[in-house]
Amino acid sequence: MEKLIITAAVVGSLTTREQNPNVPHTPEEIARAAVDAWKAGAAVVHLHVRDPLTGAAVHTTELFRELIGLIRKECDVVINTSTGGGPGMKAEDRIAIVPGLSADPAVKPDIASLNCGSLNYGMLSRKKREFFLNDVQMNPWATMLKFADTIKACGVKPELEVYDAGMINNAKVLQSIDALNEPLHFQFVLGILGALQPTVDNVVFLKNSIPWNATWSVCAVDLNIYTVAPVAIAAGGHVRVGLEDCIRISKGVLADSSAQMVAKMRNISELLGREVATPAEARKILSL
């Protein structure tokens, strides 16, 4: 079995310092979180950017350029940039970073995410019976095709984000019209309100639904990752952890950093008898 690729999602667009004071905001803080995750065993870092002053989710080529430059000064970790962005962001702004960064080899990403369908997503307070995040990320066919064509033209590998089962077929359709090159790489994102939930049965179903030569990884909201990750590890998949997806390291205990989560996942994998990949090994596994 190939070695395990651990991806560290060190900051997303939703988690806040009110939830966990260790969420990084500035390019320097995010870069430090990425390098620390690499030191702990991450081969890939999945990146968003924040407004350095307010911490609000933003999506600008300038901040990504600064961030990637800082990371690459210190390590060879595989760079995976989000094109999902965050709530309210326009599709043209989300994809613009890929050609914007790819024009400069020093900051060109290795991988860029590609959401394979539209998604109703939110956050629900069950006690108050109210939704405090209530949004739809629109990814109609024309948008998916534009994203796939742009990523391909820039020589970047798409990571196919799958929140629901039908999104696998969407990716297959894009591949059938030559918008995607083989081998495909999927990221199963489980636990979002409005999408597939993090269960063993769902992981097995998704894994059995993708092309035979595809690679795949799983991430999950909150501590559910530690339920489904051992399944992925045993089945030959890969795993993502980090403060984008979870603010805790264990029940009732806030995580100190994404690196702490990477170290925990590395320990789980090694206890299960599977070694962890270096960035160089990850590049070979993912056909970068």
Contacts of residue 153, Cβ cutoff 8 Å, sequence gap at least 6: 99
* pLDDT the model gives residue 126: 79
Q: Residue 97, Cβ neighbours under 10 Å: how many?
A: 24
Query: Is residue 246 classed as helix, strand or coil in its secondary structure?
Result: coil
pLDDT tens by residue, 215-234: 999 999 999 999 999 999 99
Residue 125 has pLDDT above 80, yes or no: no
Residue 122 has pLDDT above 80, yes or no: no
Residues 260-273, mean pLDDT to the nearest whole number: 98
Strand partners, 213: none
For residues 258 and 37, is the Cβ–Cβ distance under 8 A? Answer: yes
pLDDT tens by residue, 26-42: 999 999 999 999 999 99
For residues 175 and 144, is the Cβ–Cβ distance under 8 A? Answer: no
pLDDT tens by residue, 162-194: 999 999 999 999 999 999 999 999 999 999 988
Query: Is residue 113 classed as helix, strand or coil in its secondary structure?
Result: strand
Residues 1-29, mean pLDDT to the nearest whole number: 97
pLDDT band at 277 (very low <50, low <70, confident <90, very high): very high
Residue 88 has pLDDT above 90, yes or no: no
Query: Is residue 49 classed as helix, strand or coil in its secondary structure?
Result: strand
Q: Which CATH superfamily is domain 6-285 in?
A: Aldolase class I (3.20.20.70)
For residues 49 and 272, is the Cβ–Cβ distance under 8 A? Answer: no
Residue 114 has pLDDT above 80, yes or no: yes
**Residue type for position 14:** L
Give the pTM. 0.97
Residue 243 has pLDDT above 90, yes or no: yes
